[in-house]
Structure 1
Amino acid sequence: MMIKTILVIVGLVVAICSANRVAYSNINVPMVEDNVRALSASIWSPVDELLEGAVSNGTFPGCVALVGNKKGILYSSAVGSYTYGIPPVYHPPGIDNPPMALDTLFDMASCSKVTAATTAIAQFYQRGELNLDSPITDFFGPEFGVNGKAGITVRNCLLHNSGFFPDPNPFWNTQEFGCPATSQYYPPMEFTCQNQIYNSILNQTLQNPIGSTYVYSDLNFMTLMYVAGQLSYENKYTTSQDLVPGCDNGGPEAYQCHYEAYVNKYVFGGLGLKSTSYLPSANDAVFCAPTVNDTTYMHTTIQGVVSDGNAYAMGGVSGHAGVFSNSLDMWTFMYNIMFAQPDSSYLNSTTVKYFTTEYNHTQSSRALGWNTNDPTVFDQGWGLACGTLSPTTWMHLGYTGTMLCGDPERELIVILLTNRVYPDPSNEKILSVRKPFSTLVQKIFDSYFPH
């Protein structure tokens, strides 16, 4: 009995110490610079016109844009509606096609890689709990090393030079892969394929030698999800009580569940983000911009659940996709990254600088997790999506039509959230909108807000 009591006390002490190691951000995020928007509305009218034109020409049904600096939000606008006129699956009573709003929730797609997975990895790194040059086999075991993968490190995954192919083949939401849910015409989003997907990652083959070549791959961040989840579990940041019901089916694949719990508590929770999460509730679906009209797998217009097929087959939680958020929460997130303090235990300024600085100019424009807006590298930071913002701008894009840009030279934050994949993801008109939008913002900012 005495031994059991001692063990309980030790467990409580460890849990308390773990909680104390993770602090919440104490940065005061200003929402609106005093009187700025009212006094300067006319100077931003060209941006309004550009976005309204993009809605008119079918680039996307609607969007939300937000621009700000250290003093606060300088410009924000919600343009268009959820759809091109067809009522979405979920909408408020009496409002067949809701207008976009600053609090509309968007499927962030690959922006999940930085808003969730990269931030979690950076926090473990900052606390000295993770060496970025640790081989992935330290977490998955030697089984991961098959097919030449033994030398892949956490850093390789962050830089997308691990050698992985861009995606698993076959995709996990296909009949060929055979997740249990795919046998149903309306496949449920559940965690019944956890073990099969985990083993799929273990058995992946490589496209290139490790470290040799930049290839943007979702597999890198699927892998990092398990790394972060295992670190959370082993360092006692999360317990079984924190996990999404039905997620933990036993085995190392359950680190997926600890990853979601960690991100929810310490990445989103650490900033008090009330509307950012994996797995938005059924009640929140009405606030979510619809995405793809999926006629081959989900057989519905997707709304309120992740549109990425692999992430859906994973139960809606992954390091590469699955986060939902809105413009105001993304403003808070970006502000805390941009203006991180030297002593911040969320992410300090040294860690932020390290993760947002281009790492290997000869290989790609990538930073660690983040991309950059460097025009002198072959991929030009996704074709200079952040326009004429500085080359050191750290940024990321999401397949659904989301974009985050942080220009450290101007201390300027630019956010553009759209549902450009509705109803057909083959619509790529946004490729001719992102860069002009960002460039226009830069020109207006430099003209009227000298820094």
Structure 2
Amino acid sequence: MKYLNVLLIFIIVIVIGCVSSLKSPTKSKIDVPKLNNQEVRYPSSDSWSEVDAFLDEAIQNGTFPGCVALVGNEKGIIYASAKGGFTYGVGTPTNDFKVPAMELSTLFDMASCSKVTACTTAVAQFYQRGELNLDSPITNFLGTEFGVNGKSGITVRNCLLHNSGFYPDPNPFWNTPEFNCPATENYYPPMEFTCQNQIYQSILNQSLMNSIGSTYVYSDLNFMTLMYVVGNLAKDLDYVTEDQLIPGCDNGGPENAQCYYEAYVRNYVFGALGLDSTNYLPPQYLAPQCAPTENDTVYMHTTIQGVVSDGNAYALGGISGHAGVFSNVEDMWSFMYTLMFAESNSQYLNSTTVQYFTTEYNHTQSSRALGWNTNDPTVFDEGWGLACGTLSPKTWMHLGYTGTMLCGDPDRNLVVILLTNRVYPDSTNIKIENVRKPFSTLVQQVYDSIIN
């Protein structure tokens, strides 16, 4: 009997140890002011009518068919407005050939804003917990196979700063006949994971255009790579278990780090903030609420709506570190607010970590922070041509190819968000390059006139 009791105690200790080893997402304790689904005006001024008129004009001149904009500070949302429609008067099949008006709840393909909202945040969390050294070589996570073609010295930090030496994109793109993913054989290629191993091998075998650390070149390959780093950490450190993976994603082999990445971001990045409208792979019943992107006559042969428009991310099954996240303005407000007003003891991301990842890193090379960009006018690239206008040079920001923009000004404690589908119906429309900067500048001027 004595030995039986000892055995029972031993079993209980083991079970308790196993249970305690399972990691639960840390919820943010910040109380984010919520957005009502209606136009919001700063109570003491009508000055925001200037911003309304500016956005109306951008729609009228064909910069984008519609947009959603939001401005807020520590007290809450100052201005929010949805303008225009999903298209320029042409209905979409997903919307029963109607043209829905933009709403504050409209979902947008966030494109490269995925790099910061998903991948960079995940990297920062592992860093903050002491589980990731940013100067660790990528080979620590992807194996020595990644080190071919001179890549053995690339670190996590290099990828965050876009000075890894990578070319801007894989060549050929993964959705092209030249790359020969199985799905490209179809006129309407399905978004699936059948090319997972082939793409992973492509990442391993990439060559470099510059020596490591020498030159800033904005490259999606950096965040495609970091996706596998995050996924391996999530798997190896037991943040994600196999039963949490999206069905059909895990085809076996090291490329399944993609699946663990998605599950980690779903639970620890977006889920921890209660961002219910933000994730990869929005369910198809939400497609009618997604702003359409381009009319693709080359690969998907349709007006893209409700699935990622980036061809490389599509070939990956819709999940990547560089693109694929869908979100709306309220969720992006919650995300930006959480970072802007992070507390010193936050286990989600504390104020020290946020400042580290959003501060310009190497002024002599670029305006980049770690993952994020900055609005610094004194560097050659000027933070994508000062897309955040005359907001502070310390403003941390990111843009998305589809027409999305996030700006966080730490000097003003101000968040500015502009979500558009400027790529509809043709991504060669680049009029938004003449809209982002003056929009942000106008917001700054209106805000400062009200506050001061």
Report the alpha carbon displacement of residue 42 of structure 1 after superposing the two structures with TM.
1.7
> Which amino acid in structure 2 is aligned with residue 273 of structure 1?
L
Shift of 1:361: 0.2
User: What is the number of equivalent residue pairs in this alignment?
Assistant: 445
Decide whether the 8 Å contact of 1:14 with 1:236 is kept in 2.
Answer: no
Q: Which amino acid aligns with 1:48?
A: D
Cα shift at 1:449: 1.6
Deviation at 1:13, TM superposition (A): 3.0
Of 15, 23, 28, the match for 2:26:
23
Distance 1:266 1:410 in 2: 28
The answer on whether the counterparts of 2:83 and 2:102 sit within 8 Å (CA) in structure 1 is yes
Indicate conservation of the 8 Å contact 2:106/2:289, yes or no: yes
Give the letter aligned to residue 142 of structure 1.
T
> 10, 13, 20: which one pairs with 2:17?
13
Q: Is the 8 A contact 1:89 1:303 kept in 2?
A: no
Cα deviation, 1:125-144, whole Å, max 9, x if unaligned, reads 00000000000000111100
Counterparts of 1:220 and 1:214, CA distance in 2: 12
User: In 1, distance between residues paired with 2:152 and 2:122?
Assistant: 23
Q: Secondary structure at the match of 2:71?
A: strand
- Tell me the C-alpha RMSD between the 2 structures: 1.9
In the other structure, the counterpart of 2:57 is 53
| CA drift at 1:11 | 6.9
For 1:8-407, what aligned pairs fall within 5 Å after superposition? 10=14, 13-20=17-24, 22-31=25-34, 37=41, 39-40=43-44, 42-91=46-95, 96-407=98-409
TM-score relative to the length of structure 1: 0.96
Structure 1 residue 6, shift from structure 2 partner: 7.1
CA–CA distance in 2 between the matches of 1:275 and 1:43?
A: 31
Contact 1:32-1:74 at 8 Å conserved across structures: no
- For residue 31 of structure 2, give the secondary structure of its aligned residue in structure 1: coil
Partners of 2:164 and 2:213 within 8 A in 1: yes
Cα distance, 1:30 vs structure 2: 1.1
Of 443, 447, 450, the match for 2:449: 447
Q: Offset at 1:256?
A: 0.2
Q: TM-score, normalised by structure 2?
A: 0.95
Letter in 2 for 1:220: N
**Are the aligned partners of 2:293 and 2:309 in contact in 1 as well (CA < 8 Å)?**
yes
Secondary structure at the aligned position of 1:42 is classed as coil
The answer as to whether partners of 1:358 and 1:367 remain within 8 angstroms in 2 is yes
Separation (CA, whole Å) in 2 of partners of 1:86 and 1:70: 40
Shift of 1:15: 5.0
- Displacement of 1:19: 1.9
Question: How far is the alpha carbon of 1:7 from its aligned partner?
Answer: 8.6
Distance 2:16 2:171 in 1: 44
Partner Cα separation in structure 2 for residue 41 and residue 318 of structure 1? 43
Matched letter for residue 168 of structure 1 = P
- Which residue is 1:414 aligned to? 416
3-state secondary structure, aligned to 2:377:
coil
Mapped partners of 2:204, 2:275: distance in 1: 34
Deviation at 1:89, TM superposition (A): 2.5
Could you tell me the percent identity over the aligned residues?
71
Distance 1:359 1:38, change over 3 A: closer
Deviations 1:321-349 (A, max 9, x none): 00000000000000000000000000000
4+ residue runs over 4 A deviation: 5-12
Give the letter aligned to residue 60 of structure 1: F
State the 1:17 CA deviation: 3.4
